[in-house]
A and B are shown apart, each in its own frame.
Chain A
């Protein structure tokens, strides 16, 4: 264990700069997933770097190791895909905490922000109107597009399953999804500009 500065509060999540090197003890107690992680280290690192971890890729890989270590040991069908997925989630977590940190700093510098925010009832009304509009937007893209979007993105059904369900090709499911997500992104941009 190298010197961690536990006092530095916010720095906690980024404290490690030492290379990713599990001790012999850890290697002996590794799960199958951890062994795959060690084997595929280079590939995972490359993904983490490309995914925005940059110089912190080693740290993120270490976090991945820790996360895998803390998981209950149940069999995983495709360990490598599982590791990539977990790495992807780590990057999303990290980005989320970066975003909320920025927001906090912003709030800190401008404490009047909250006073300009509309009251709760009004915000609920706005949210309601936006939902209505998004629902209309989706409906305007045609029944199948709407159905594909809802099944995939809201209910979490796999794309292959939906293609089978609707009797269409996977690529047309992909296109439908993309159409819906493009339209909703445009709607979001419009809301943001309002």
Chain B
């Protein structure tokens, strides 16, 4: 509920917002005191931050002066979308800008003090990001992404797994980059797994253009592309569209996948360390695995399905040949 602060409080809010935006600000306790003194103070403070964002965006993004710079540091897309509602982090921007200045790249508009927004999940942790246009980015465990707040439809992925539900906009394609690879959506629900150069893209709806090293491959619903490394040749296969991104519903579906992959997925999903005995790592698994419940519960179900023994030793689970088996 937004109250209407008096002009005096509004003015104080501006003062605090400006002070707190300074990279050297350290008077957080005093800010806390002020915020606690009157509930209207928080509203005034938030309003001042909004105003500040608005002004910075107006000057930095939408003016013709910035255009060349936008083009220089971007990945080839058009000018920022008007009103896409990205917010800045004035402080981080300040740091970035000071660094640039220090590097002698000064000049009013030669700078785009817009820091990248970063999200990272620990193994076992998940996070959902919804963009202003309704696109959803669901981060599975052990995943790191970053994007520029004014261009949230250009995601840089660094490891992990993400399920994208993208609101399609032909003028502003949704782009996922990972190293030298670009994935461009064509109206889409798709899942990306990436670790170093290893890539796995599965499309549930719409289509995705895979773009790497000058080549382009179009992936439609039910297509899967896997690549064993940066330099490796991508391999196309089929995916069950209904099972793409199943981790999000706590269900993992495999079709003849090596056990080592299953275990890597589980480690990420459950946030536990699982090692596979080399004797069984090359075994293949087909089927559906529910990952609901505690790691113990999930792994004991897996144990029953694959006919192997999974033993826990402290914080490490080990998958090994079934007890009493001669293999």
Contacts and interface: CB of A to CB of B under 8 A. Distances in A.
Given A93-B117, A131-B62, A181-B51, 4 more contacts: A1-B294, A89-B92, A152-B22, A158-B22
A85 B91 contact: yes
Contacts of B289: none
Contacts of B52: 153, 181
Contacts of A84: 26, 28
A13 B128 contact: yes
Contacts of B19: 174
B111 interface: yes
Contacts of A88: 20, 28, 91
B292 to A, nearest CB: 8
B27 to A, nearest CB: 9
A194 B65 CA distance: 26
Contact of A50 (B42, B90, B124, B126): B42
Interface residues of B, number: 77
10 contacts: A1-B124, A47-B31, A84-B28, A103-B85, A124-B62, A128-B64, A152-B22, A154-B60, A156-B23, A174-B19
A35 interface: no
Contacts of A76: none
Nearest to A123: B82
Contacts of A131: 58-59, 62-63
A100 B136 CA distance: 12
A170 to B, nearest CB: 10
Interface of B: 11, 14-15, 17-26, 28-29, 31-32, 35-36, 42, 46, 48-49, 51-52, 54-56, 58-60, 62-64, 82-83, 85, 87, 89-98, 101, 106, 108, 111, 113, 117, 120-122, 124-132, 134, 136, 138, 144, 171, 248-250, 271, 294, 315
A181 B42 contact: no
A134 B59 contact: yes
Contacts of A38: none
Contacts of A93: 117
B87 A92 contact: yes
Given A127-B62, A154-B56, A158-B24, A103 B94 contact: no
Given A156-B94, A158-B23, A188-B51, A104 B130 contact: yes
Nearest to B120: A70
Contact of A154 (B17, B48, B54, B59): B59
Contact of A156 (B17, B113, B120, B315): B113
A13 to B, nearest CB: 6
A185 B59 contact: no
